[in-house]
Amino acid sequence: VAEHTHHHQHEVTPLIIPALETVEEMSKACVRFLETLSPALRRKAEIPFDQGERLRWHFVPIDMFERKGVLIQEMSQKQQDSAFKLLETGLSKKGYQKATAIINLETILGDIEREQGTYNHPRGPELYFFTVFGDPDGRQPWGWRVEGHHVSLHFTIV
């Protein structure tokens, strides 16, 4: 059995925002996002937390796996800005940059596939879904998801 015998203090630098602050920020951003949506889009975006849809996921192109939620292409610029503000709350700065880079690379991937004659799937940064599960007021478990080709980000708050 090894024994720790040296006596000094180790400084610990926190690497993440405390969880409660993150959850509060996420909740506020989600409420703001939902408030930007028309009633029709909001009905598409919101799904009860306890429905099985929350547990279904994939990262294949849009035509290979049916998804629920609101497509970016259905959103106004204001709604898109609000959706991506929500996404920012769930990721580190580097994580957010990677996720948005992957989303934006869909245009280039589509161009390459067309040039090579291998274009088989719809491509574009507007083909990603934002979905909210439950009520983001924080009183009950809730969650949200951003999903499309090569991106499947799920957040569950309990």
- Total-model pTM: 0.82
HSE (side-chain half, CA atoms, 13 Å) at 32:
17
Q: What is the pLDDT of residues 73-115, one digit of tens each?
A: 999 999 999 999 999 999 999 999 999 999 999 888 888 888 8
By 3-state DSSP, what share of the chain in percent is helix, strand and coil, each rounded to 5? 45, 15, 40
**In contact, 87 and 80? CB cutoff 8 Å:** no
Closest CA to 110 of 96, 127, 95: 127
HSE (side-chain half, CA atoms, 13 Å) at 110:
15
Q: What is the pLDDT of residues 17-62, one digit of tens each?
A: 567 788 899 999 999 999 999 999 999 999 999 988 888 777 777 7
Name the residue type at position 24.
E
Q: What is the pLDDT of residues 111-149, one digit of tens each?
A: 888 888 887 777 888 999 999 999 999 789 999 999 998
Determine the Cα angle at 54 with ends 50 and 60, to 5°. Answer: 165
